[in-house]
Structure formats: C-alpha cells, structure tokens
Amino acid sequence: MAAVTIEGLLKRFGDTEVLKGIDAEVPEGSFAVLVGPSGCGKSTLLRLIAGLEQADGGSIRFDERNVTQLEPRDRDVAMVFQSYALYPHLSVRENLCFGLRLRKAKQKDIDKRVDEAASMLGLEPLLDRMPKALSGGQRQRVAMGRAIVRRPSLFLFDEPLSNLDAALRAQVRVDIRKLHDQLETTSVYVTHDQVEAMTLADVMFVMNRGRVEQAGPPLEVYDKPQSRFVAGFLGSPAMNFLDGKVEGEHVQINSPDDGDGPRVKFAPAAKATEGRAVTVGIRPHHVEVADVGVPLKVTYTEALGGETYAYGRVAGQPIVVRLEAHERVVPGDVLKLGVDPECVQLFDADSGRSLRW
C-alpha cells in the first residue's frame, strides 16, 4: 500500500480549468473519499491519480515516488469503474484472471489469486457464468475481484455503486469497506452521495468547483464545516440557512417586511463582530419544540414513520425541522423552536466562510 500526496495539481480541458491547484494527503492504508456535486472535478482527479489523464501542473506522489508522468501500467493501481467494464465474452473466472495473464503470471499463482478473490467476495458459485447472467451487484463484485487479484498498492473506485438500486447499494457499500479493511490497502473512492462518503471514509475531501473546500474525518467535517457550501452539501435534509446580522450574542434574523425578525443565540465566536452581516446555519435535527422560541408556521409535513419533518418559514425564510414521530403537526400550526447555541453555525454573508471554526 502507498500514501498519496498531491501538490498544486492543475487540469484544463481547452479553456476550462477543471482542477485549480489541488493539495491533498491520503495517508497510507486509509480509505479516502472524494465527494462533491457533479462537475466539481472529483472524477478528473481520480483519473489523474490513475494516469488516465495527464496533469497540466503540480505533482502526484505515491510514497516518495513521483508518478505524475508515469503511464497507468507503471503506477501499480487498480481501478473499479461505474460501468463494471467486464469482458462480455469471458466467464467470471476469465475476467478475474485476464490482467494476470497479460502480465504472464504463472498459472498456479493465477489460480491461487482467483480462488482467494472469489472466496473473499462470495463468487465461487459464479466463476463459470458469463457477465450477462449476473445481477448488477454480482457484476460489481466481479469488477472488484479483478482489481483484488492484481494486489495493487492503491485501489481506485469511480462511483462504483451508481448503477445499483438503493438496497443493493447499501449492501455493496458494506462489502467495499470490509474488503478494504481485510486487504489493509490504500483506497481512493469517488462519489456524489454523501451517505457513501460519511459511512466509508477515514478521510473525506469535499470538492467544489475544482478545489478542495475541506478535508478531514467525516464527522469532524460534518460538525465543523468551514464554509457554507460544505455545511449545505452534507446532511439530509440540508442545513437551514437564515440571513441576519450580529447583535451581541445573538443574530437578528432579517425580516422581509423590515420588521424585527426573531433572535437566535450563538456560542462565542471571535469573528462574529457587532453588526456583521452573517448567515446562521441550523441543522434540522438540532431544533426542538419548546414553550418559548423562534416561531415557525408549518406549511407542509413529511411523516416518515420514525420521524416527521415540518417545513415552514421563519421571518419569511424557508426552514425544515425534524420532529419526533409522536409529534403530530398539520399545515397552519405554529411551533416554537428552541436551538442549542453550540449547534448554531455562523458564516460570513459575503464569503460564505465559517466564523466559528
């Protein structure tokens, strides 16, 4: 396995700058996830690591080895694609051993590695089947098995679960993480799905417009977002944002009719200077119904069994809150909302950068 160090990485397609000086450190043996919206550059970054694209600037190192200009075959990486990329005319066994045969490995070594991978992934009953006779989940496991038999220093995954249904995605996600832990290798995984990112990653890189907005352990990034983008991208439903200005230890929420909106107290934040225009961030599950608090007039509800989401407006600004399943509300109800000041995020109204972290 190898550590991956990326410094000042640039990539352009024509006049479009797709990656704008990426810096990233993937520790040896870790599971790193690149997450972000479509078009943020995460798949391009993965392809640069694999050698399938050439950088226009910067460097990529595996441990101390500079691989920036190396061909893919010289990087000792294995990649699992979204589309499975199996050979339709070859059986599962033949797909698994294809790369080893190209490398002219000995037959006994090929058989041993294929048997190990098949056992690890539960593919033994499928070895003589053709890809067309497999389900989507089985095909993805074959694609992973083909990567395993090569025993690379680095595994790369390019949105491997996108073609699977929700239930199967959850199962294969668990399989991928178990596989990583069992092989004790370094993995880099691309997804736009925040659930995959949060559950799989040791270290998560949140990307936006060709840059890394924030990197770190998933829960740390979730709890201490350094920008409004990161705060809004992670979490479902998304974080609520309310515009206002600082007044002492509170934010006075803007009201569209120029009246006084409600006040929200926040934990001490040195950069939250008096009168500063800010955006308050509050996650739906950090709100509770109280006897006194911010008034919310309910306009819509979603009852999901174990919880209910209530949608409405505060001072004319949209907000959604999570309620306990037993709390029954209907459109037209007015709720009083209490918020723990420690759970209130503050962002500069202009730059979107956090004023707390």
Q: What is the pLDDT of residue 1?
A: 77
Can you list the alpha helix ranges (DSSP code H) found in the chain? 42-50, 92-102, 107-121, 136-148, 166-183, 194-200, 218-223, 228-233
Nearest to 11 by CA among 51, 52, 57, 50: 57
Q: Any idea where the domains of the chain sit in the sequence?
A: 4-232, 238-348
Distance of alpha carbon 11 from alpha carbon 40, whole angstroms: 12
Distance of alpha carbon 266 from alpha carbon 222, whole angstroms: 18
| Buried b or exposed e, range 171-207, using 16+ CB within 10 angstroms | ebbebbbebbeebebbbbbbbbbbebbbebbbbbbbb
Q: What is the pLDDT of residue 171?
A: 85
CATH of 4-232, one of 3.20.20.150, 3.90.1010.10, 2.60.40.1120, 3.40.50.300: 3.40.50.300
pTM over 0.75: yes
Cβ-proximal residues to 65 (8 Å cutoff; 6+ apart), any chain: none
Q: What is the pLDDT of residue 75?
A: 93
Q: What is the pLDDT of residue 310?
A: 95
pLDDT tens for the 357 residues of the chain, in order: 789 999 999 999 999 999 999 999 999 999 999 999 999 999 999 999 999 999 999 999 999 999 999 999 899 999 998 888 899 999 999 999 988 888 888 999 999 999 988 988 889 999 999 999 998 888 888 988 988 898 889 999 999 888 888 888 888 888 889 888 888 889 999 999 999 999 999 999 999 999 999 999 999 999 999 999 999 999 989 999 999 999 999 999 998 775 678 999 999 887 999 999 999 999 999 999 888 888 999 999 998 888 899 999 998 899 999 998 788 899 999 999 999 999 999 999 999 999 998
Q: What is the pLDDT of residue 334?
A: 92
Is the Cβ–Cβ distance between 170 and 153 less than 8 Å?
no
Nearest to 123 by CA among 102, 97, 104, 103: 97
CATH of 238-348, one of 2.40.50.140, 3.40.47.10, 1.20.1050.40, 2.60.120.260: 2.40.50.140
Q: What is the pLDDT of residue 319?
A: 95
Q: What is the pLDDT of residue 259?
A: 64
Distance of alpha carbon 250 from alpha carbon 298, whole angstroms: 24
Q: What is the pLDDT of residue 305?
A: 84
